[in-house]
Amino acid sequence: MSTTYLSKMNGYILRKAQVDDIEKYYSNYTPLDEEVIRFTGCKRNFSKNEIDSFLKNYIYSTDKYLFFIISPDNTIIGETVINGIDSTHRHGNFRVAIFQKKYRNKGIGTWAIKQTCNFSFNTIQLHRLSLEVFSFNS
């Protein structure tokens, strides 16, 4: 997939992560919001090297995908991820996160999920996409 957009909605963009996103991603991801920590089980802070390594691992991979949700002011406000792809059985895992509370409950995550599912089923031809959540995540 090229660096073209996966989708656009009301000034928001969903697109594949790129190497030149590392600085912006780091500054918007660390420290993580309390709700993101609770619902993902992630630690609060990541080093720049950890973020750099994570991002490059996804960017250069051919079997997992990292998409950024970009706000109208060009801030990375969230992500969707497809990973754990089993190419034989055509299934994979999925996750979504909106990093800051002010962007939640606006339909942005729902839109990003729909676009990521569309990519999963129509572009990379998966048959099943799984999402696991903690029991307290209603």
As beta bridge partners, residue 94 has 82
Q: d(Cα 25, Cα 35) in Å, to the nearest integer?
A: 18
List, in order, residues 6 or more apart from 30 with CB less than 8 Å away: 44, 45, 46, 51
Q: Give the predicted TM-score (pTM) of the model.
A: 0.87
Confidence (pLDDT) at 100: 85
Per-residue model confidence as pLDDT tens digits over 119-132 = 999 999 999 999 88
Q: What is the mean pLDDT of residues 52-69?
A: 92
Token pair belonging to 87:
């190419």
Per-residue model confidence as pLDDT tens digits over 80-120 = 999 999 999 999 999 998 988 899 999 999 999 999 999 99
At what angle are helices 22-29 and 48-59 packed, to 10 degrees? 130
